[in-house]
Amino acid sequence: MNILITGGAGFIGSHLAERLLNDGFHVTIIDDLSTGSATNIDSLKANKNFDYYFESIFNESLLRELIDKTDVIFHLAAAVGVFLIVESPVRTIETNVFGTELVLKYASLKKKRVIITSTSEVYGKANKIPFNEEDDLVLGPTTMGRWSYACSKALDEYLSIAYWREKKVPITIMRMFNTVGPRQSPSYGMVIPRFVIASLENKPIPVFGDGLQSRCFTYVDDAVDALILSAFNDISVGKVYNIGNPEEVSIRNLALLINEKVGSHSRIEFIPYSKAYGEGFEDMQRRVPDIKKISHDLGFQPKHSLESIIDRTVEYFRKMKNSTIVTK
């Protein structure tokens, strides 16, 4: 079976490619390296069942050719990260909406199986906890660029479901909740990598706001499990699922826990949202997934606790740091 992963040189995409190759699939990735990295797939390049293209999915002729040869498409290509979203709302909207439209357009020609990755951001300012797939989405005003990502991914979902209902393209939508693990870049505002690196370097840990806002974190291997389960089970066609771990932690306590795990004495530096992202930025106080649906339909349960996630992430960045020191 042939698998195509858009955004396959990214953090999640590279882990997914690695798992699928180990399971005996032929895997092709396409990635423009705007937020992914060629080093993420270095270990895969020698595999005879692996092909890669460092190209944009806006290259329609190539995308159509790759989809035509594919049995299952994992569509992960997207503009991600709060920093990127705030700084480049045009790029965010165009990449997410137009990119998804192209994937669905060419998948529809031969009714290819498509797994669309979405985000917990689509819940917006909703305050009903935990977030259920059938809950209303509460987005902020169009004048605030901060909401462009949530809006564009919500539109991706509407478009995907429309392709399923009207054109019978077998899609599944997976809403990801704060996926974490090795290879995740801190460059776009990803909180755990930023905190771990600061703690390892004994630098102040930057906590935005008062740190009382809470999040739930999913280890990348668990997210990959969920993606693969959804792709090869017909019960998931036409459905939306949360992928997450309901274990909740405040950002302030997360910083303290990371310091403890690292054995660092880094102080917590509280930074106003206005300084980090500009005036008028809005954050959500809590974001907790309801995973009953994916558990019932696909048998998914996260295997990694928050402490395990932090341990593994600390180990990864400590090795990276030591490797850099040796190289220098």
Query: Are 197 and 264 spatial neighbours (Cβ–Cβ below 8 Å)?
Result: no
Query: Residue 225 corresponds to which amino acid?
Result: D
Question: Quick one: which of 106, 2, 108 has its CA closest to 64?
Answer: 106
Catalytic residue selected from 123, 149, 241, 277: 149
Q: Is there a catalytic annotation at residue 149?
A: yes
For 83, the token pair is 């920093």
The contacts found for 271-277 with CB under 8 angstroms, 24 or more apart, are 271/206, 271/207, 271/208, 271/209, 272/208, 272/209, 273/208, 273/209, 276/206, 276/208, 277/82, 277/83, 277/86, 277/146, 277/208
Question: Quick one: which of 293, 280, 300, 289 has its CA closest to 247?
Answer: 289
Please count the other Cβ atoms lying within 10 Å of the Cβ belonging to residue 256.
Answer: 16
d(CA 8, CA 18): 10
**Phi, psi of 314, rounded to the nearest 5 degrees:** -60, -45
For 69, the token pair is 């040869």
Give 318's Cβ-side CA count (13 Å radius): 14
Enzyme catalytic residues: 149
